[in-house]
């Protein structure tokens, strides 16, 4: 078996996807690469780790050749809120980085998984039950880069036969590694604050509805899609996937059932609120269900119970 490369491996999804892939395919089969941040001991000690700048095509080429990479999970990206602070960097990493990965994949006959996002939709998109194929006119640089990325991945498949696949992730909730500056980050922060301080000040309005997913389902969706018989896939890239749609108020109410003293208040960040308001309330993920059997394991309650249990254990050890 040729090896698997995970870019953005020190990030929220990458750090857990690396471990998930190592468990499934073997520790020596998965190469984790980060940009600059030092990896956790767990990540470094469980298998191969290297540094790589995806905006430098030579570095991408050297890594893919050095480890004989057959599949790339390309997770390195600048998220929505951080992207608005520095759109030029977001474009460079999200577009030029992706282009480099696709070019090297083409030359080395590697398959590529690239996550898109709910951010690939915009204010003109139907907000409820957002279809798989619909209007995509996002208003953030992150969203623009995600739509361009979806199209570029389609193009590399159609033109060059590169085996590109991807899902549109909603906000991902997890306890292992913090997210790196997205608009949906409140749904992670709220758990840290609920456990530590019993109080959270949310940067989005209480009724802001967004799609979310618990990390185990995000990992499963990526690997299940990559394992699917390609003849079943009509939409290769950018499948809508979701687990539940929530507002900060609803999430707080549900957390209160586990931590009764918990209180939430609001100090709205207008920039992040504008981003959230431009995204769908809830996605229709029936096409992913149809084409490759997508089905989430965790509903809202199951996620909350597991998240509070696991994060409490982790915070006790710190």
Contact 243, 283 (CB under 8 A): no
Instruction: Judge whether 162 and 99 are in contact, CB under 8 Å.
Output: no
Options 67, 73, 99, 142, the catalytic residue: 142
Between 60 and 79, CB nearer to ligand SER: 79
Catalytic-residue membership of 186: no
Least distance from ligand SER to the Cβ atom of residue 232, Å = 26
**CA distance readout (Å), 74 to 45, 98, 220, 310:** 21, 8, 16, 27
Footprint of ligand SER on 175-194 (CB under 6 A): 182-184
Give residues 100-139 in contact with ligand SER (rule: CB under 6 A): 117-119
Under the criterion CB under 6 A, does residue 222 sit at the interface with ligand SER? no
Q: Please state the closest distance from residue 215 (CB atom) to ligand SER, in A.
A: 12
Instruction: Pick the closest to residue 164 from 103, 87, 250 (CA basis).
Output: 103
In whole angstroms, the minimum distance from the beta carbon of 116 to ligand SER comes to 8
Structure tokens at 128: 């409820």
Contact assessment for residue 187 and residue 212, using Cβ atoms and an 8 Å cutoff:
yes
Q: Which of 63, 80, 136, 208 binds ligand SER (CB under 6 A)?
A: 80
Minimal CB distance residue for ligand SER: 182
Q: Closest approach of Cβ 33 to ligand SER, in Å?
A: 21
**Residue 297: burial class (beta carbons within 10 Å; 0-12, 13-18, 19+):** exposed
3-state SS of 144-175 is: HHHHHHHHHHHHHHHHHCCCEECEEECEEECC
Count of positions on this chain that bind ligand SER (CB under 6 A) = 11
Cite the active site residues: 142
Judged by the rule CB under 6 A, the positions of this chain that interact with ligand SER are 79-80, 117-119, 142, 169, 171, 182-184
């Amino acid at each position: 078996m040729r090896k698997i490369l995970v870019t953005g491996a020190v990030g929220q999804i990458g750090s857990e996807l690396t471990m998930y892939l190592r468990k499934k395919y073997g520790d020596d089969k998965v190469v984790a690469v980060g940009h600059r941040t030092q990896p956790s001991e767990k990540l470094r000690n469980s298998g191969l780790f290297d540094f790589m700048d995806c905006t430098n095509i030579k570095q991408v080429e050297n890594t893919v050749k050095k480890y004989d990479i057959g599949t790339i999970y390309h997770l390195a990206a600048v998220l929505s809120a951080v992207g608005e602070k520095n759109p030029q960097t977001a474009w460079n990493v999200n577009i030029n980085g992706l282009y480099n990965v696709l070019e090297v994949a083409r030359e080395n006959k590697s398959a590529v998984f690239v996550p898109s996002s709910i951010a690939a939709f915009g204010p003109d998109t139907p907000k409820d039950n957002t279809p798989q194929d619909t209007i995509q006119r996002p208003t953030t640089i992150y969203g623009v880069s995600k739509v361009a990325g979806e199209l570029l991945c389609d193009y590399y498949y159609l033109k060059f036969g590169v085996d590109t696949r991807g899902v549109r992730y909603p906000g991902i909730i997890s306890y292992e590694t913090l997210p790196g500056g997205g608009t949906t980050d409140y749904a992670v922060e709220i758990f840290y604050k609920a456990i530590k301080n019993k109080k959270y000040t949310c940067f989005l309005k209480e009724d802001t509805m967004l799609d979310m997913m618990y990390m185990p389902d995000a990992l499963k969706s990526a690997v299940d899609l990559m394992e699917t018989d390609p003849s079943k896939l009509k939409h290769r890239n950018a499948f809508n996937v979701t687990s539940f749609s929530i507002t900060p108020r609803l999430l707080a109410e549900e957390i209160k059932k586990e931590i009764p003293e918990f209180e939430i208040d609001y100090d709205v960040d207008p920039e992040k609120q504008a981003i959230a308001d431009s995204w769908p309330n809830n996605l229709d993920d029936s096409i992913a269900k149809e084409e490759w059997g997508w089905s989430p394991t965790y509903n809202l309650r199951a996620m909350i119970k597991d998240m509070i249990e696991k994060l409490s254990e982790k915070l006790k050890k710190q």
